Amino acid sequence: MTDIASLIAALNAELPAERVRTDPALLAGYAHDEAEWAPHGKPALLVRPRTAEETATVVRLCGRHRIPLVPRGAGTGLSGGANAVDGCVILSFEAMTDIVSIDPVERLAVVQPGVVNDVLRAACAEHGLWYPPDPASSPWSTIGGNVATNAGGVCCVKYGVTRDYVLGLQAVLADGRVVRLGRSTAKGVAGYDLCGLLVGSEGTLAVITEITVRLLPTRPAELTVVGAFDSVVTAGHAVHEVTRAGLVPSALELVDRHCLRAVDDWKNMGLSADAQVLLLGRIDDPGAAGEAAADTMVECFRRGGADWAARSTDPEEADALFAARRLAYPALERLGPVLTEDVCVPRARVPEMLARIESAAAAHDTLIANIAHAGDGNLHPLIVTRPGDDDARRRAQEAFDDIIDAALELGGTVTGEHGVGLLKRRGLAQEVGGTVLDMHSAVKNALDPDAILNPGKVFSQD
């Protein structure tokens, strides 16, 4: 009996019926995430557990049979972190969707990893509470996947990223043992921060089966400021002005003409008629302080070179603008394959980084659209190619590499929120250097000595 056949027999003996699936047509839909051109293999089987105990059984048996295991949330990732390797088990958490509890007094929630981000946010809102991390994929992405990549989002400029809200985790180690890490108290410094270590580890150190997250009270209504600019570089100068003024917006997003036009062509929203680039800012400070901050942001936009800037007086219009920003990526996908970057630079270097992105586009004759969490320096150049054009694909990859190199030269990082996965392994090695990469490998080897957990991701020393 082959190793896979032995594993399937063992899984079927210990798990309830229908947990294990081997249909090739079904498996093909679980082979990769949304990362354009990231390589993927052919999985051998799919398991969809419903409890931590079932998950532990899968991990333990995979370890016993030395079969690689790839955890998967909703598959919305953009770095190849959930991509299959040949002969692996895909461990999908789509059936673990319980919101176990919401505690309005302690302001925390306990959820299974398959809970969709926006579902949790809606449930918290019923208690007057708010879960801040809000990646653009929040209507579809899961909390487990958000934890795996330490996801950010529009409001992280003020409120931080997923790691800032994860208090505790239940996780399955590579040998099948179930552990609890972190805490449910407001404070706690007992031992190493192993909970924080797992956040952003992309499924390479343990398999997460439950998450305890910190919640905040519901925010006041936001004030929206809009500015139009003649170039992304000019808009970058306005971002620098906002930073210099000491403002802490609840959002500060950049959307360029390529994105605006793609959304218009798709949704007919009339956004691209009068602007090459839009900056969308939001302030959620209450009362007079919020009013003053919004007025200051308008002045910052003008000092930065805006063609026009104003506070929005129409809440529906303001919400539509932010909806258009979230639609930019799927709108561009309608034009052809999109290779998505995720670099982050110091905010003072945003104008220079945007100029370097434009230079990369020109040097490689490649269409690069820009959206950005501009307020925290996290830029998402979207490299668009024509379907089936191998030369365009080569040029796009060269531009991708140039952008990584430029970000590092400007004191930035190769990934602000999407994770390393497969696409950024070279960049990670370049960013942290050999000694620190050895530290990563030491941690990996200590927690996963047989390298069965999401092998090949983050770095190549599995």
CB 83 within 8 A of CB 76: no
Strand-pairing partners, residue 129, are: 217
Of 172 and 316, more confident:
172
CB 297 within 8 A of CB 241: no
Region 252-269: mean pLDDT is: 92
Share above pLDDT 70 across residues of the chain, in percent, rounded to a whole number: 98
Number of Cβ within 10 Å of residue 257's Cβ equals 18
| CA–CA dist 198, 168 (Å, integer) | 10
- What is the tens place of the pLDDT at every residue in 309-353? 999 988 888 888 898 888 999 999 999 999 999 999 999 999 999
| CA–CA dist 298, 311 (Å, integer) | 7
Of 370 and 317, more confident:
370
Share above pLDDT 90 across residues of the chain, in percent, rounded to a whole number: 91
pLDDT of res. 246: 96
Residue 102 has pLDDT above 70, yes or no: yes
Whole-model pTM: value is 0.95
- What is the tens place of the pLDDT at every residue in 44-85? 999 999 999 999 999 999 999 999 999 999 999 999 999 999
Region 384-407: mean pLDDT is: 96
CB 132 within 8 A of CB 155: yes
- What Rg, from alpha-carbon coordinates, does the chain have? 22
Phi, psi of 116 (to 5 degrees): -75, 140
- What is the tens place of the pLDDT at every residue in 179-228? 999 999 989 999 999 999 999 999 999 999 999 999 999 999 999 999 99
Residue 10 has pLDDT above 50, yes or no: yes
Residue 462 has pLDDT above 50, yes or no: no
Instruction: Tell me the pLDDT of the chain averaged across its residues.
Output: 95
Residue 460 has pLDDT above 80, yes or no: no
pLDDT of res. 273: 67
Region 141-146: mean pLDDT is: 98
Could you tell me which of 329, 353, 352 has the C-alpha nearest to residue 343?
Answer: 353
Residue 298 has pLDDT above 60, yes or no: yes
Phi, psi of 138 (to 5 degrees): -55, -25
Residue 461 has pLDDT above 70, yes or no: no
| CA–CA dist 28, 41 (Å, integer) | 10
Could you tell me which of 381, 376, 397, 393 has the C-alpha nearest to residue 157?
Answer: 376
